[in-house]
Structure 1
């Protein structure tokens, strides 16, 4: 027990039982949230390496932009299948801790599969390995995103997830720099692909060590009953509607599909865009690191803004920014266009965590399955880069920036809908005054409480 709130750890979580974990105070939630936040750096690092590998494989294996986009297709294609077929059911049956460990193990196995792929210089093998990595990471995202959104005071839900996503963005900054200057410095021939083997072998070993650490980590479970109580414990308290009537969730899923696809299309072909401006590969990788740095800065800035500005306003502002600057980067060439494309990264920063948290707001017992749908929508990263690649092969990467602009524009319909029709639902936690510590840290009954949950 920590501060009067029982910390319940089980091999299998009983979703009809209150554990009190969703009622953790800000101070009590710091440790479990910090542990889970370490996972965000992992998939940020993996995603950052993906962008670098995309460009380097074009040179080392002699493949086209369209063919190299299959690497992203494999990675994000896993996000389409496994959140709903594997990660979501696993989370609902065994709880967060088991899902964390399982995702890490699968991620590690995928990293080890890069070794035989490198031996045979098989691009298909690399794609298969990346699909397993995506399987593991999608399992982690199914659990980590909703966990941070619900572990602690609801008022800070968006801030918690945005801060963790900022840590993830830090991984995307570090990975391109290490990839271009250390890991894949010279990937112009097949022999140099051995570097890829060693890098992913090291990552795999680290991931297995982290899975072992999570086995002993104090991760409190949050059940459907906890989330139902959290969703109905304010002045807007009302029974949570059936899943099929959750319009905000499904609109958020569609928006996330379009947004993530557009984001991945921009990041995956950023180096190709810079090459068209006359830069070389090394300089392009540096510029990608700068862009990812702006992405990370934007997430920290957005998290700070949400202390004073309602999250729904922040999301609308940032998505409008992506639309404006992506269309400018399409129509303006040279250094100016490249600068506008960098600004796109800044405005992309807060969109994913805000779409996620606003879409699952007050879902109650549907939070876990809602999170599965939202993580599955990340599969947009397998579709939109393919479209951009086809346009880029026929026209140019500059002209192909029309594709992410369309994605950003479609995603913007979600905050427009939220601001027009869901204001009260989104603002209730933001406007709640955090209680004083002596009241906030009150104990809850240690006995197991079973609640009746309607389908």
Structure 2
């Protein structure tokens, strides 16, 4: 392979990192939906956490389904990276559009279903996008590209809460704002069309699909995969489980904490900047 082929394909990579932005944007938006749903549906604090649970449980369920299907047939080899990524984006688009009937019906379980569907699409996208980012250039700089993509993801988490807060509460004063589920529809409809646009772009883009190259390598080797042979894999899984669980638990309960008398009785419409500050602080650490 010549040096030109080892150069990072920046045009293709930039288009790919938009997917990383979506993950952060929606994850941060969930933190706004928790206090909103808690107030509108008169939920307990435990019940309000079902918002985060429905979204992140979809990652686990989607990964298990993908794993079980892959035992019989390698999905990425059969359909390719681009088609699989586009399929994940399409699933998330369906979930985004489900927010419209959920808001019309004023149904909390329907909202949870919509969030679960969005998260299910994200699980497919992450299975594809992470290794694809590494493969868009020299393997030696793959970690750098993945770190940069993670920084874009952090940027999405930082501004997601602010943008959804503006959509729901406007740019109003500190006076209490009347919450309406109707205001949730437009942001998620726009998000759904954004998912579709990126899915179509991925399908018709010139991004090279590494699936065929991987097929040749797999056929050339006979060694079967065993997770016990890769401690960095299972230890990394444990580390991700702990750190993601910690950061999501903190931010999911932060709005309730801010609303206590000890922390100023902060209303729902004033919470988005604090959520953005939380994710922004993490972004600074990840960008350094």
With normalisation by structure 1, the TM-score equals: 0.55
Shift of 1:187: 6.8
Matches within 5 A, 1:117-156: 117-156=102-141
Shift of 1:165: 1.1
User: In the alignment, does 2:243 pair up with 1:259?
Assistant: yes
Does the Cα contact within 8 Å between 1:83 and 1:139 map onto a contact in 2? yes
User: In the alignment, does 2:195 pair up with 1:207?
Assistant: yes
Does the Cα contact within 8 Å between 2:89 and 2:195 map onto a contact in 1? yes
User: In the alignment, does 2:228 pair up with 1:242?
Assistant: no
Shift of 1:69: 0.8
Does the Cα contact within 8 Å between 2:99 and 2:111 map onto a contact in 1? yes
Determine the C-alpha separation between the residues in 2 that align with 1:71 and 1:187: 22
| Range with greater deviation from structure 2 (151-160 or 213-222) | 151-160
Structure-1 residue corresponding to 2:181: 193
Determine the C-alpha separation between the residues in 1 that align with 2:177 and 2:59: 28
Does the Cα contact within 8 Å between 2:258 and 2:264 map onto a contact in 1? yes
Does the Cα contact within 8 Å between 2:77 and 2:215 map onto a contact in 1? no
- 1:30 paired residue among 10, 30, 50: 10
Highest CA radius of gyration, 1 or 2? 1
Determine the C-alpha separation between the residues in 2 that align with 1:228 and 1:273: 54
Matches within 5 A, 1:4-403: 24-27=5-8, 29-86=9-66, 89=70, 90-185=75-170, 188-189=178-179, 192-223=180-211, 226=214, 242-244=225-227, 245-276=229-260, 277-281=263-267, 282-301=269-288
Aligned residues between the structures: 273
Does the Cα contact within 8 Å between 1:150 and 1:227 map onto a contact in 2? no
Shift of 1:268: 1.3
Does the Cα contact within 8 Å between 1:163 and 1:299 map onto a contact in 2? no
Determine the C-alpha separation between the residues in 2 that align with 1:187 and 1:295: 29
Structure-2 residue corresponding to 1:234: none
Determine the C-alpha separation between the residues in 2 that align with 1:82 and 1:184: 33
Matches within 5 A, 1:432-451: none
Determine the C-alpha separation between the residues in 2 that align with 1:291 and 1:228: 45
Shift of 1:183: 2.9
Q: Structure 2: any 5+ residue segments left out of the alignment?
A: 171-175
| Distance change in 2, residues 1:64/1:240 (3 Å) | same
Does the Cα contact within 8 Å between 1:109 and 1:204 map onto a contact in 2? yes
Determine the C-alpha separation between the residues in 1 that align with 2:142 and 2:15: 16
Determine the C-alpha separation between the residues in 1 that align with 2:215 and 2:142: 13
Q: Deviations over 1:368-401 (max 9, x none)?
A: xxxxxxxxxxxxxxxxxxxxxxxxxxxxxxxxxx
| Distance change in 2, residues 1:64/1:98 (3 Å) | same
Q: Structure 1: any 5+ residue segments left out of the alignment?
A: 6-22, 230-238, 302-455
| Range with greater deviation from structure 2 (96-105 or 241-250) | 241-250
Shift of 1:188: 4.6
Shift of 1:151: 2.7
Structure-1 residue corresponding to 2:173: none
| Distance change in 2, residues 1:292/1:181 (3 Å) | same
